[in-house]
Chain A
């Protein structure tokens, strides 16, 4: 067993330790708490890098360390961790991005009185995500998964004195719990069918051919194969965490948390967990592809949901006026792309996009945080503006992130990963619809990012806050620069000409493709990006907004569409009107039943009980209790009587010994009752 495998558990354990130390630190221990958190993340990063090196020695191997947690009946519950390029790459990404966000938070949260608690929760968040990443047991994964949910609840509601933050935290927790319920059901079902929750276990793991083969022979009444059903349940959990339609509604509201939290949620942790989960159990999810009789393939559902989400997120993002909300919807859209890639069968493209997206989205959020910090928590883009002149580093890095997200060709990582996704979609045999959705999404993405850039950084400052904004200190800008470098450089890990990432993740050598293969698609998407950028520039760049009250050009052109998108397609209202009302109705019904029907029955029984009780009490008091009391008194009396034998008279004691010896000798000689 290589040493990196043995120490892999330390990767989540270090931040967890930092979290527990932080929890024990009093409010005043700001330096200590932050220092421990950052040191733990740095340690986790170091260990992750070592683990990555070890994993790349033999990329096709799944190194596992399993151990028995406890025995249950005849079976045993086993946990374990797993080292392969996927988990190692994710570890490196989570710990690196997390580390940069932690450092950024030093500057961003410096005025908060609960600084210590913040770092405690952030460490817990990172630890939980790292636990998800290295888990080799779906049970351990689920435990970490729930911890992710808990930590997100704590962090989104970090400013719980704001009602909006408290509500957003609750919304995030409950919405993702709905998905988690599906995940839990899937896991229970899987355990019931296979008797194991280990992913890889020397041939007995649920992702390995033998177990999957057995699972594939089972089918439900409607002809649906059991693997498909389990996969769909697992996908419910992934959809909840990764903000897929229709469970995406929590993600924009999660903006109520501090900006570093948003960055962590949107880049490294939480939303990445869903995509990662599907990529991790890809052998299980994709197993039903081979079953021709199966009426529905799980991946088809994944692709459809991904395509819808990609399009929906991008469309809504065009009409938002809150800086962080635009980014939030863009995250939803990009997660849709990742799910789309998974659905069309290319989990490598999904992970590639996940990694690049982690960098540029963290960059965009942190840059947004830098703006918000400088502009005294003003985050309405109509009231910002003109920051390009005063905040040059933030502007430059934001522009890099914006171009990466829009997919500006060749230099930026987002371009390559998005190309990989689109290329995979174009090769999907089932349908071309996801590809079309993706292509439309490309235009929209370039459009809304251009709008965002123009509104925030160009033109005149449209509020006193924006006018007074100054560039932040190095603790905030340096992480931006590092992330910007990553947002550019990371793309070259997976270009068609040098597909290192694919060969590293799959463990198979992959031949480089020439640019000409699929070049038509690439050219098309470049044209679309250019169209989006151009449209954005035409609407927002050519004539920059001058005052906060000026009407949005898009809104002027199509007020009803803008209003519809601005209200997030009224999905929240739809949910409130349908599911929410159903819930209220159910609750009222349950209340009625409780109060009158069951309550009446219980009340009657209580009366009956009271009656029997009073009869019983009579019997008890005068009969049993008196008997028990006298028995207890007799026991105590016996104690006192024996105690009296302890006279303190040594001669008496020794006489007792002599008598006892004689009795014993007789007893031994006679052998009991014989």
Chain B
């Protein structure tokens, strides 16, 4: 069988578009626009970057026939295509948010790194060979480490980036160790062969240890407890657009990657979904991580006074719910999980976008800094209401329907009595707890009076457009969930 380079080239069109775009951003900035003001350079970089993302989107749209590409290195199934689209949309929204970012001393580098991160993320969405998985993950992670520490004026940014990097490095080490063990046990780095081998061999202890290592990396990537420790610091310290990307696109791609790894690849070692006593497997471990994330995320969020830390803990809680979707993906398919992760990403990008825009009009760290937002910028307050209510899962917004489908899928696994079912019940109960801290944010934004001397906030048009689009999509997908669920 001769390698199908033409097919590979076509499948990697989006990545190529993003890389070319990133290089164009850097090149233009270094040559033609060198002497222009920072604002103009940022605007140019964002324009070129957005065009690159759009071009990548067109490539995804027109990407060749679905199925494995280049042997089985890449897998272009509906999940991959949908995730690539999702990542690109979220990246585009992040670029729109970045227009309002303050204190950008190197706008072109910032935008280029966002594009590199997006390249890694869309590669993650389709990769199904362990080596490529690792490379994609590292490309994305390394770019994200840098943009997390991009604001050099604030010491906490540097601290956040360092913690993120250390954590990421450990997680990568675990992952690589796990991959090498898998290779050692099965003799292959391609998921289909690995799956076939495991089906023949059954689960041996070495493989299970490898699985645990993969789960550590998974937990890191998706900020699930107890591997979440980096998240609050990074969400708090990183520039808002960086945090938005880390919280949305990176999470979506991570879930897709690990779902692909765990179900088609290691599905034979899953254990039983109905009962965890049936045999060893990764499902009990995922269940424990999910339960820990749900409990810890929701409870600790109650005690937060910092808006970004609150979002971080809410992200941890949402990860727990999405892990339920991962557990259910074996039977229900990836549709509920993808719906949840993508609409969650929209709401998070939006929330960070509002923070970013509000920062231009003054401090926006504590929840109380939002006081009187409805007077200072009715548009931002309205958008924030949509995002926060979607995160809280209030119908008819998309967040409600995401929770609904994921919980319904989890309950169908084995009824209420099965572990997944009880987890779903736990998640539903904790949603009520979550409503409390979400509403505290909205109370500040919509009810509390502005502090004396608070200025009205002017929102840059690009950011306003991005926020409006995110809010619109949340409402749209909430009203017409079949638009997303029907993709699979």
Contacts and interface: CB of A to CB of B under 8 A. Distances in A.
A669 B205 contact: yes
Contact of A668 (B211, B278, B299, B301): B211
B473 to A, nearest CB: 22
Q: Which applies to chain B's interface (DSSP): helix, strand, loop or mixed?
A: helix
Interface stretch (B77-85, B163-171, B360-368, B376-384): B163-171
A657 B219 CA distance: 10
Interface string B258-281: 000000000000010000111111
A673 B275 CA distance: 10
B296 A671 contact: no
B280 A670 contact: yes
A672 B167 contact: no
B216 A657 contact: yes
Interface stretch (A138-146, A475-483, A599-607, A637-645): A637-645
Contact of B229 (A646, A670, A673): A646
B416 interface: no
Given A668-B211, A673-B276, A656 B229 contact: yes
Contacts of A638: 299
B276 A672 contact: yes
Nearest to A646: B232
Interface stretch (A112-120, A314-322, A615-623, A659-667): A659-667
Interface in B152-190: 159, 162-163, 166-167, 170-171, 174
Nearest to A660: B226
B439 interface: no
Nearest to B437: A639
Contacts of A581: none
B271 A672 contact: yes
A67 interface: no
Given A635-B302, A638-B299, A661 B167 contact: no
A648 interface: yes
Contacts of B233: 646, 648
B300 A653 contact: no
B284 A671 contact: yes
A639 B314 CA distance: 13
Contact of B300 (A642, A656, A660, A667): A642
Contacts, number: 101
A648 B309 CA distance: 13
A654 B232 contact: no
A664 B216 contact: yes
A660 B284 contact: no
B274 to A, nearest CB: 12
Most buried by B among A657, A670, A673: A657
A225 to B, nearest CB: 42
Contacts of A654: 166-167, 170
Nearest to B276: A672
A653 B211 CA distance: 21
Contact of B285 (A636, A668, A673): A668
B212 interface: yes
B277 A640 contact: no
Contacts of A667: 212, 284-285, 288
Contacts of A640: 303
A649 B298 CA distance: 22
Contact of B226 (A643, A657, A668, A670): A657
Interface in A454-489: none
Interface in B204-220: 205, 208-209, 211-213, 215-216, 219-220
Contacts of B208: 665, 668-669
B284 A650 contact: no
Interface string B210-244: 01110110011000001101101100000000000
Nearest to A664: B212
B304 interface: yes
A551 interface: no
Contact of B212 (A668, A672, A673): A668
3 shortest interchain CB distances as A-B pairs: A672-B276, A671-B280, A639-B303
Given A648-B159, A664-B216, 18 more contacts: A636-B302, A639-B302, A639-B303, A643-B303, A643-B304, A653-B163, A653-B167, A657-B170, A657-B220, A657-B226, A667-B284, A668-B281, A669-B209, A669-B212, A671-B278, A671-B284, A672-B284, A674-B277
Interface of A: 635-636, 638-640, 642-643, 646, 648, 650, 653-654, 656-657, 660-661, 664-665, 667-674
25 contacts: A636-B303, A639-B302, A648-B159, A650-B163, A650-B166, A657-B216, A660-B216, A660-B227, A661-B216, A664-B215, A664-B288, A665-B212, A665-B213, A667-B285, A668-B211, A668-B215, A668-B280, A668-B284, A669-B205, A670-B280, A671-B284, A672-B276, A672-B277, A672-B284, A673-B277
